[in-house]
Structure 1
C-alpha cells in the first residue's frame, strides 16, 4: 500500500507495528536489528524526498528515531553524587559562607535524602532491587517512593531517606555509603526495557555529634529576592565548585561498556540527509526533525561518555525552534516548551554559561540558607528540564519566566528556597510537585495568575479533601480549620498542608485576600512571614 501511495498514515503505522513484532520475535530475515533499521531509514527517505510536505512518512521516521535512541535503562545521576564527601550541618547553620553545595547540606535532622535518577521512567525500585551498605542502616527496611505526581508508580527519579543515628560522642562521625543496583530483571521501564547494567554509587557523609538543644529556624529574618541581595561569587570559588560539578557528572555510574557506534553513525547519517533536504526547500517538519535528530545525537554522545561540549549543537537547535515559531504560530507553545528545554540544557551542561547564573546570597539577617543560588530568571522559560543535573541545588530563582507548571521540581529534594514570582501559574494545582519537597522553607509565588481564570481544567487533578475517596486525609475533629474555609480553597489546602514553610509570598494573584491568608496561617504553623509581613 505504501508503494502505491506514500501518503497513507495507516500503512506506515501498520508497518511500525508489524516490524516491532518481527524484531521482538527475532523472525528470520529481521536480525540483527541494526541492519533492519538501516534499510528502513533508506526506504522512508525515498518518501520524504519525493514529497517533503507529506507528514505521513515523517511520522514513521520519528518512530525509527525513537527506536534508534531506545537503549538499556541507565542510572544517569544521583544525590549524593558518586565520589562525593558530604558534611551535614544539623544545627541548620552554614557558618562559613564559602561552603560548596557539593560538600555541605543544611538540615536540622540527621536524615539525608537519597535520589536515584534514571534515563527513563522505571518501576520496582525497592529494597530488594537496590542494596545500601552503611553502618547502622538496614537496607531492607528502607522505603523507596517514586517522585512522580501521576500515582502510577513509574518515575525517572526515586527517593529514600537515610536516617543516621544520634551519636552522643563529642566528635564528628563519618559514614561510608555504598548503593548497588545489581544486574537483574527487577528494575524495568514503562516500555519493558530492563535496567541491565551493574551500577553502584559510593559517597561519605560526616555527621556532627548529637546536640540536645533544639534549633529554631523561625527566629531568622526574611529572605529578599531583590538583585541587591545577590552578588557574584568569588571567581576562584565558583570555578572550584563547577569543576567539582562537571567531574561528578562525568563519573561513571554504570560499569558495563555499551557500544553506541551504530546508533551515533545512523543519527549522523540522518542529520546529513536532513540538511541536504533543507538546503533545497524551507520545510517546517524537516526543521523539526533536524532539531530532534541533533538532540538525539547529543543524548547518545553523553551516554557514550564522549566529550562534546566544544561542539554543542544547542545553538543550532535553538535557532531551528526560533524559525519554527515564526513559520508555524499555531504550535507556538509547543515550540516554546522545546526551546526552553534546550536552552536550559545548553546552560547547565556548559561550565562557562552556568557560571553566569550562579550568585551568592549575602543577607546578614538570614545566614541559615546555603548562599549558593542558581538564578534562571528572565529567560522566558515555559518548561523545566535537565533536572538530573540540578539535584544539588538548594536555592533557585525562576522568576520572570512563562512557567505554567512546576513539573520537574519534585526531584530537587534539597530545595529550601524557591522563587517563581512573575510567571503564568494559574492555579494552586500547578504547585503540586512542591508537595514532595520536605526541605522547602521559602516560597515566592507572587504576581502569577492564580485565581484569575474562572475555569481551570487542571484543578480536578488534585483531590478535594472533602471527598471520601481522599482516604480520610482531613479530619475536622483534629483541625482548627472549619469545613467552610477549606471548601473555597481546597486546592490550596491540598498543596500547603504538608509543607513546613517559614516564608510565603502570595501577593499579586487574583486569589490573594484576607480569607485565604487566614487559612494559610492556620495551615502553616511554622510560617513567620506572609507577603513580607510578620504573621506571628
Structure 2
C-alpha cells in the first residue's frame, strides 16, 4: 500500500514478534495498575516509557504521561532548569516513539502538548520535521505538525510557502527529469490507446501529458505595450492635425497612458521594485501596478501601470523598462520569473491643436487600407514570445513524434481532437517564420469535421475553432495586416476588423495590445472575456452577436479608454432567465449605492437594470448603440443617459444639449 512493499514474515521475525507481545502484556498490566492508583514515581514513569517504545499507539500511556508531568511540575520549585529537564525528557520519549512509527497520532499530539507549554526551540522542531519528511514526504502528520510549529513563529505565510516550494522543487529537480520521463510516458500510454481506442482513461492521460509538455514552469513575459523599439505620440484630449500613420497616437484627458505587461501565466509580485522604469517623464516614481482584471486577487496574466505625462510640455522621451531584474515576480504555482527582460520605446509628447471631436464614429467610412508591405506593424507589436531563448528542443521533439503517431490513427472523434491539439501545440513552439502557420488549415478542418461528427459537443468545437482561427490571424505580420486599417478621422487609430467570421470566442489578445479600434460585428460571441487586456481600445463594435446581457460585457469595465461601444442587434433582454446576470454582484448590495445620484433618484430602475448599471457606470462612453435588443426602449434609453452622463450619441441620435 502507498508504494510500501509487504513481505512475508520470516520464522525468526515471528518468534521475535511473539516475545514482544508477551513483554507488552506484562508491561500493560503493571502500567494500568499505576495509572488507576495515580502513581507518578520515577519507576512508574520509566515503565510507561518502555511501553511506548514498544507500542507508540498506546493512547492511555500518553495521557498518563501528561498527568505525570502536571503532577511533577506542581510539586517542584519554579526552577526553569528543572522544568526544562522534565519537558526535555518528554520530547526525547516522543522522538523515540516516532522512530518506531513516524505516523503515530498519539506521539505527534503529545509533542504538540509539550510545545504548548512554551518549551523547545522552533528551529529544533523544524530540523526534526525535515528528517521525518525526507523519510516520507506524504506524511500528513508531519505536515500538520509543521503548520502548528510555524504558527508559533513570526514567519509569514509567504515566507513559509517560499521555504516549502524551494525544498520541494529541489527534490523535484533531483528525482524527476521531464525531458526523459514524459517521452517515456507517451510510449507507455500509446499501448493503452491503440489497444483499446474506446477506453477514455488513456486519452485523458495523454491530454494531461500534452499539458505537461507545453507548460513551462517558470513564467515568461509574452508581450508588452509599448513594444520594444516602438514610438508613440501622446497628447491631451482631442485630435492632432497631421498625425503620422507610422506611430500610435494616444490621447488622454487624465494625462497618462497605460504600460501593459502580458505574462504566459498568472503571476504576482509585479511592483515598482520588480519592474523599474528609466525615463525623464516626471511624476512616475513609485509607480503602482494593478492586475487586470482585479477580482480581489493579486495574481494575473495582465498587469498595468499608468505613466503620467504633461501634454503642454512637448518633447521626446526615451523610456526604458526592466522587468524582473530584482526577484519577486512569482507565478501562482510558486515559480520565480527568472528571465529578466528589457525594452525601450520613444514617447513623443505633443500639445493638442484641435478641439475634441464630438462627431459620430462610423464603422463603414473613413478607413484607409493598411499597406501589407509596410514595416509599420513591426513598431506596434511583438508577435513572438519575448523570452524565446528558453529551451524547447525536447518539447518540440516530443510533439513532433506524437503528431507523426496520431496522423496514421483511423478516423475517430477523440483521435481528430487529439491531433488538432497536437498541431496547435506544434504551432505554439514554431519560431521559424518560414514554417509558421502551415498547420492551421488542417487544424480548422479537423474542428469542422468534429462539429459535423459530434453535435452534442458542437459549441466546444466551435470555440476551439475560433481560437485556432485567431491564432492563425496573429501568427505573422502578413496575416495580421490583412485585417488592419487606419481610421483617419480619429488620429489614424489602428483598427482591426474581425467581422463576419463566425467567431464564438476571443483569443490571442496578447498579440493585439496595440489595437485601438476593434470590429467584431456579425459573429457569434457570447461575451467579451479577454478584451480587458486591450487597454488602448477606444472603439468596439459588437453588433449582431449573441450577447444576452450586460453582465457578459463585464470585462469592458477595466478598459478605461473605451469611448465608443456598439452592442446593437444582440439578445440583451430577450431571455427572462439569464445566468450570466449573476457575474455582476447586485449594486443594491454595494454600500456606495447610497451616494449615487441615479440610485437615489431611480432605485426602481437600478433594480430592474442592475447588470447594465453595474457595467455602464464604470465606463466613460461618448457613443453607445443598443438598438435591436429586447431591452431597448424609451425607458432604458432614459436610464442610460442618467448612468452615463458624458454620453453624446445614443443609437445614432445626438443627446440634447450637445
TM-score by length of 1: 0.85
- TM-superposed CA distance for 1:471, in Å, is 4.4
Q: 1:127 to 1:97 in 2, by over 3 A?
A: closer
- TM-superposed CA distance for 1:166, in Å, is 5.7
Cα distance between partner residues in 2 of 1:93 and 1:167: 14
Cα distance between partner residues in 2 of 1:117 and 1:166: 27
What is the aligned partner in structure 2 of residue 306 from structure 1? 432
What is the aligned partner in structure 2 of residue 80 from structure 1? 226
In structure 1, the residue corresponding to 2:415 is in which secondary structure?
Answer: helix
1:155 maps onto 2:300 in alignment: yes
- Match of residue 352, structure 1, among 478, 488, 494: 478
- Match of residue 620, structure 2, among 500, 505, 511: 500
1:486 maps onto 2:606 in alignment: yes
Cα distance between partner residues in 2 of 1:94 and 1:398: 27
Q: 1:309 to 1:103 in 2, by over 3 A?
A: farther
- Match of residue 377, structure 1, among 499, 513, 522: 499
In the alignment, is the contact (CA less than 8 A) between 1:426 and 1:449 conserved in 2?
A: yes
1:290 maps onto 2:290 in alignment: no
Structural RMSD (CA)? 2.7
In the alignment, is the contact (CA less than 8 A) between 1:97 and 1:371 conserved in 2?
A: no
- TM-superposed CA distance for 1:33, in Å, is 2.6
- Match of residue 186, structure 1, among 308, 311, 328: 328
In the alignment, is the contact (CA less than 8 A) between 1:183 and 1:195 conserved in 2?
A: no
What is the aligned partner in structure 1 of residue 238 from structure 2? 92
Once the two structures are overlaid, the 10-residue window that deviates more, 105-114 or 449-458, is 105-114
In structure 2, the residue corresponding to 1:472 is in which secondary structure?
Answer: helix
Q: 1:308 to 1:480 in 2, by over 3 A?
A: farther
In the alignment, is the contact (CA less than 8 A) between 2:311 and 2:349 conserved in 1?
A: no
What is the aligned partner in structure 1 of residue 509 from structure 2? 387
Q: CA deviation digits over 1:399-420, x for unaligned, max 9?
A: 0000000001111111111100
In the alignment, is the contact (CA less than 8 A) between 1:30 and 1:36 conserved in 2?
A: no
4+ residue stretches of structure 1 with deviation over 6 A?
none
Q: 1:345 to 1:27 in 2, by over 3 A?
A: closer
- TM-superposed CA distance for 1:123, in Å, is 1.9
In structure 2, the residue corresponding to 1:466 is in which secondary structure?
Answer: helix
Q: 1:360 to 1:112 in 2, by over 3 A?
A: closer
In the alignment, is the contact (CA less than 8 A) between 1:442 and 1:504 conserved in 2?
A: yes
What is the aligned partner in structure 1 of residue 397 from structure 2? 265
In the alignment, is the contact (CA less than 8 A) between 2:495 and 2:518 conserved in 1?
A: yes
- TM-superposed CA distance for 1:25, in Å, is 6.3
1:531 maps onto 2:531 in alignment: no
What is the aligned partner in structure 2 of residue 455 from structure 1? 577
Q: Which has the larger radius of gyration?
A: 2
Q: CA deviation digits over 1:308-346, x for unaligned, max 9?
A: 555521111111111111111111001100100110111
In structure 1, the residue corresponding to 2:228 is in which secondary structure?
Answer: coil
- TM-superposed CA distance for 1:49, in Å, is 1.0
Cα distance between partner residues in 1 of 2:537 and 2:615: 16
- TM-superposed CA distance for 1:141, in Å, is 2.3
Cα distance between partner residues in 2 of 1:311 and 1:54: 33
In the alignment, is the contact (CA less than 8 A) between 1:184 and 1:195 conserved in 2?
A: no
Q: CA deviation digits over 1:181-219, x for unaligned, max 9?
A: 22555212223332121112211211125x7x9x763x5
What is the aligned partner in structure 1 of residue 633 from structure 2? 513
Cα distance between partner residues in 2 of 1:476 and 1:233: 45
Q: 1:474 to 1:465 in 2, by over 3 A?
A: farther
- TM-superposed CA distance for 1:65, in Å, is 1.1
In the alignment, is the contact (CA less than 8 A) between 2:290 and 2:304 conserved in 1?
A: yes
Q: 1:231 to 1:369 in 2, by over 3 A?
A: closer
Once the two structures are overlaid, the 10-residue window that deviates more, 388-397 or 141-150, is 141-150
What is the aligned partner in structure 1 of residue 360 from structure 2? 222
Once the two structures are overlaid, the 10-residue window that deviates more, 419-428 or 305-314, is 305-314
Q: 1:138 to 1:266 in 2, by over 3 A?
A: farther
Cα distance between partner residues in 1 of 2:400 and 2:331: 27
What is the aligned partner in structure 2 of residue 465 from structure 1? 587
Once the two structures are superposed, the pairs formed by residues 194-233 of structure 1 within 5 Å of their partners are 194-209=336-351, 217=356, 219-226=357-364, 229=365, 231-233=367-369
In structure 2, the residue corresponding to 1:235 is in which secondary structure?
Answer: coil
Cα distance between partner residues in 2 of 1:32 and 1:479: 60
What is the aligned partner in structure 1 of residue 559 from structure 2? 437
- Match of residue 210, structure 2, among 65, 68, 83: 65
- TM-superposed CA distance for 1:89, in Å, is 3.1
Cα distance between partner residues in 2 of 1:231 and 1:139: 36
Q: CA deviation digits over 1:102-123, x for unaligned, max 9?
A: 4422334421110000111222
- Match of residue 454, structure 2, among 316, 328, 346: 328
What is the aligned partner in structure 2 of residue 249 from structure 1? 383
Q: CA deviation digits over 1:255-276, x for unaligned, max 9?
A: x832211111111111111112
Q: 1:477 to 1:416 in 2, by over 3 A?
A: closer
In the alignment, is the contact (CA less than 8 A) between 1:370 and 1:395 conserved in 2?
A: no
In the alignment, is the contact (CA less than 8 A) between 2:370 and 2:482 conserved in 1?
A: no
Higher relative contact order (CA 8 A, sep 6+): 1
1:116 maps onto 2:261 in alignment: yes
In the alignment, is the contact (CA less than 8 A) between 2:225 and 2:513 conserved in 1?
A: yes
Give the paired residue count.
493
What is the aligned partner in structure 2 of residue 235 from structure 1? 371
Q: 1:370 to 1:325 in 2, by over 3 A?
A: same
Q: 1:152 to 1:308 in 2, by over 3 A?
A: farther
Unaligned runs of 5+ in 2: 2-136, 139-164
In the alignment, is the contact (CA less than 8 A) between 1:82 and 1:253 conserved in 2?
A: no
Q: 1:471 to 1:141 in 2, by over 3 A?
A: farther
Cα distance between partner residues in 2 of 1:308 and 1:356: 18
Cα distance between partner residues in 2 of 1:27 and 1:232: 55
Q: 1:299 to 1:441 in 2, by over 3 A?
A: same
Cα distance between partner residues in 2 of 1:29 and 1:116: 33
